[in-house]
Amino acid sequence: MVSEIDHFMDGLMRRNPHEPEFHQAVFEFVETVMPYYLDHRKYTDARILERMTEPDRIVSFRIVWEDDNGVPHANKGFRVQFNSSMGPYKGGLRFDPSVNVSILKFLGFEQTYKNALTRLPMGGGKGGSNFNPKGRSDREIMRFCHAMMSELFRHIGESTDVPAGDIGVGAREIGYLFGKYKQLSNHFTGGVLTGKGLSFGGSEIRKEATGYGVVVFAEDMLKHHGKTMSGKTVAVSGSGNVAIYAVQRAMRMGAKVVTVSDSRGFAHLPNGFTDESFAILQDIKENRRESLAVFAQEAKGVTYHAGKSPWSVPAQVGLPCATQNEVDETMARVMAKNGMECLAEGANMPLTAQAIHVLKDAGVIFGPAKAANAGGVGCSGLEQAQNAQRLLWTRDQVEQELEKIMRSIHEQCVEYAPVKNGVTDYQAGANIASFARVADAMIGYGYL
Ligand SMILES: NC(=O)C1=CN([C@@H]2O[C@H](COP(=O)(O)OP(=O)(O)OC[C@H]3O[C@@H](n4cnc5c(N)ncnc54)[C@H](O)[C@@H]3O)[C@@H](O)[C@H]2O)C=CC1
Ligand SMILES: O=C(O)CCC(=O)C(=O)O
């Protein structure tokens, strides 16, 4: 088995040199899917693994925008349209200086299998720009978004490719992007972007959906192993869209949330978040767009640790919600030693491959991103459904549908997952269940 995996990865790395994040995402998938793949001749005969690791296409373009001093800047823009077997390409846009083709290919690949698990008609894609929104004024963000859409609009559409938010892209940016799309196309096509404002075709709960979904999934995993979230100490990383609503949902489930972080350090709340400290965090991050150091000054019972990650704080549940590869093997050992029982990935690929092995070997229940954080894109699918119906569902309706999606993902994982020492292998379950769904669709289309 190891030699088949190595052989496959050698070929992939030769065909896609200098793309470490893409190699990592494919390895994490192939490592668990290979035995199932080799057991089914319909897949091996169709060379389906080789085919599904090559994106349908990658669009790359220049974005020129003007800053507040009238100086022009040029950034790179991309859209990776990875796989449309399950439906129109669907996945977020990321604005961050680190954005490159390797990162967007890893994200587009992961998105394809995540979206398949939702069972909604969505293919996988991802895009973005190396534009750094930090420190930019609202006007500059608007001009950048308008400039980006001047090219992106040619490549997207409600039945072609439907972008949404990701790191650095929230409701404000989606509003500017949608406004420009509407102007250029002279169509009000709600279903072309998701994460829109509620007054122009957005959905209730989309803002909260990823963070809420992560906690619902963690609770399902705990329950499946005879445990519960209530009373547990929870460490969260990040303090953006996913992290904020993971904190809120975990608090509502009776957990004590003791950390949040950003790229400059982490905030420690030994007695856990209160409604008051949560409201301050939300205001600082969503309205004032300030750093966690400010949060630590304004909220009671908070210490700030510059330049450190939150994983040395003992917790029974870990929710990494910041970015890729934020947890390495050493941190995973610390988590396991400190008694972690369950970890659900809120961010995409926050754990290195070695970190996942350390946690699984220590018997920690591990929820991979493509299952645990699928609530965001699941709710985007519900937004598209509302746009197609020209209706706005109530908060309760959306929340019920979203919980159904998360529960169904948990069931699919359990159906396909091996069990080792009494612990369900959700990583293998999520990968095999989604592989089978995408592979069967691709085979159904013939050799394309
Ligand atoms: N927004 C969504 O609906 C979904 C987002 N995700 C993933 O969740 C993660 C977070 O995304 P959002 O919350 O939407 O973005 P965001 O832009 O709202 O927040 C990102 C957070 O991560 C922190 N961060 C960024 N780079 C970091 C670094 N190098 N080290 C430490 N912290 C860092 C930022 O300070 C911020 O707190 C990403 O991996 C994203 O791909 C996954 C599913 C859906
Ligand atoms: O809502 C969406 O379409 C995309 C969400 C996303 O980017 C993700 O799941 O990583």
**Residues in the chain with pLDDT < 70?**
none
Fold held by 57-188: Rossmann fold (3.40.50)
**How close is the Cα of 298 to the center of ligand 2, in Å?**
32
The answer to whether 163 and 79 are in contact (CB under 8 A) is yes
Q: Is 166 in the pocket of ligand 2 (CB under 6 A)?
A: yes
Ligand nearest to the CA of 93: 2
**How close is the Cα of 265 to the center of ligand 1, in Å?**
14
Measuring from atom 7 of ligand 2, which residue has the nearest CA?
92
Q: Is 262 in the pocket of ligand 1 (CB under 6 A)?
A: yes
Structure token pair of residue 80? 């990776």
Q: With pLDDT > 90 as the criterion, what percentage of the chain qualifies?
A: 99
208-372 and 57-188 share a CATH fold: yes
Model pLDDT, residue 92: 98
What is the CB neighbour count within 10 angstroms for residue 140? 18
Q: Which tens digits make up the pLDDT trace of 142-157? A: 999 999 999 999 999 9
C-alpha to C-alpha distance for 302 and 293, rounded to whole angstroms? 10
State which of 95, 324, 377, 406 you would mutate to test the pocket of ligand 2, scoring each by most atoms of that ligand within 8 A of its C-beta: 377
Measuring from atom 9 of ligand 2, which residue has the nearest CA?
377
SS3 sequence of the chain: CHHHHHHHHHHHHHHCCCCHHHHHHHHHHHHHHHHHHHHCHHHHHCCHHHHHCCCCEEEEEEEEEECCCCCEEEEEEEEEEEECCCCCEEEEEEECCCCCHHHHHHHHHHHHHHHHHHCCCCCEEEEEECCCCCCCCHHHHHHHHHHHHHHHCCCCECCCEEEECECCECHHHHHHHHHHHHHHHCCCCHHHCCCCCHHHCCCCCHHHHHHHHHHHHHHHHHHHCCCCCCCCEEEEECCCHHHHHHHHHHHHCCCEEEEEEECCEEEECCCCCCHHHHHHHHHHHHHHCCCHHHHHHHCCCCEEEECCCHHHCCCCEEEECCCCCCECHHHHHHHHHCCCCEEECCCCCCECHHHHHHHHHCCCEEECHHHHCCHHHHHHHHHHHHHHHCCCCCHHHHHHHHHHHHHHHHHHHHHHCCEECCEECHHHHHHHHHHHHHHHHHHHCCCC
What is the CB neighbour count within 10 angstroms for residue 151? 16
Average pLDDT, the chain: 97
Model pLDDT, residue 254: 98
83, exposed or middle or buried, with CB in 10 Å at 0-12, 13-18, 19+? Answer: buried
Residue set of the binding site for substrate: 90, 111, 114, 165, 380
Q: Which tens digits make up the pLDDT trace of 178-230? A: 999 999 999 999 999 999 999 999 999 999 999 999 999 999 999 999 999 99
Model pLDDT, residue 2: 78
State which of 84, 210, 384 you would mutate to test the pocket of ligand 2, scoring each by most atoms of that ligand within 8 A of its C-beta: 210
Ligand nearest to the CA of 377: 2
pTM for the model stands at 0.98
C-alpha to C-alpha distance for 14 and 32, rounded to whole angstroms? 21
State which of 167, 287, 379 you would mutate to test the pocket of ligand 1, scoring each by most atoms of that ligand within 8 A of its C-beta: 167
**How close is the Cα of 378 to the center of ligand 2, in Å?**
8
Q: Is 128 in the pocket of ligand 2 (CB under 6 A)?
A: no
The catalytic residues are: 126
Structure token pair of residue 428? 């293998």
**How close is the Cα of 371 to the center of ligand 2, in Å?**
12
Model pLDDT, residue 392: 97
Q: Which tens digits make up the pLDDT trace of 246-260? A: 999 999 999 999 999
Domain 208-372: which CATH class? alpha beta
Domains of the chain, residue spans? 57-188, 208-372
ipTM value > 0.95: yes
Q: Which of 56, 114, 106, 102 is nearest to 82 (CA)?
A: 56
